[in-house]
A and B are shown apart, each in its own frame.
Chain A
């Protein structure tokens, strides 16, 4: 399944999302880029989150690369520190997703594609390793966008308490690398879909009409 490219609202826009007429003032998920992240990938990620999670998504104004999270020792950015900062955001959005182009790590792992607070507010996705094939060389732009949308969806779903899923056809399945990621579908299995619905009720979040 290819990533969708529907229009989502930016924070400065007053226009209504293309497919939905009765949207709340603020979205449920705010997507923010930290540092040099392309406009197109931002919009595609936001559109896919909105379409698949059935939640209103806003694109927030860009911010600086999170230098505070840089580790001299690892030459990478500490994902947990970025999450902590994001969770403190004054934006009204119950969930905040950041896209970065730098490489991320958590202390115990060599790298992560993304990281999220399980049942928390913040998630972050690194585009750094998504542009490359495992065997070397670059991937097509379509593949890159699709990977970014998948990791974003997976990480945001963690903030709604979803854990890794054993179903082969589910975006919550743990992928062990970009090739695995390419094989995953861009949707949830029926179980995770149900868990997600339950989480919306638990967090009192109103989903968009299908």
Chain B
């Protein structure tokens, strides 16, 4: 990784620790809950950002992938399989060690897929769907691509609303906690759950996941792949002419961003111990696009900062009933006045000046 990036990552780590200490000192630890969720949403935003900013492909269906991740892992870890234990598929899952026995609060036996296995299945499914969808969809451009991804998101939303397995309009609740790491020696286990005593651990897990995702993406865009992607954004024909496999790269990034979104969906579902259909709504997808746009299409750090901070404000309810309207205004404002992101407003004025000087 470039030295500049390492420094930035380090200062981000420092900032994360500082914020936690600050909440501890000021006794405002309740902020940690929203900060944790913001970090997960930030993961979706940076994943989508690489697709939009670097590969130049818009997707208005990323809430769909987020929901696939969240809903699949919620359904798999919640629905009792004891009644269908003789089903060959369930037996197969049992043999590979994907199932776990537990007791619910009434003392009844529960046979469910274990969270790690469910997580892998959910993320894998999202990646696979992205692959199957991406190959034909990414041949489309501009309006067609926007509408196709919007259509995909809407289908997922409708299916979730109409399928009893996914809880229809109620969504899925009582999702168990997710033990990422079992207790090692004297170290306590690392568990994703909304439990108050685990707030600090979860905060660090969420930001850890976000930072790892950020490092992966930063490395990706500095690599040969990243250069290929940027060439694709500026001119697809030219990129193809110099031998870049444009179709392959586009699909690859699409799948990658879907996997990011699905991971965020899985973690946040375990953290909130539930998920509802609103997570799959078109408005959520549009919101991710807005966050990418406001951060700056080719500025991963900008996306991270704006994505996390705006999501945090929104989760804190700062915008009240104007929540969606705020994101609409942001979307229009950014695209009209600062198409390269808010953090590049300066650029806008500088180029304006140049233009008038000429």
To the question of whether A and B form a pair in one complex, the answer is no
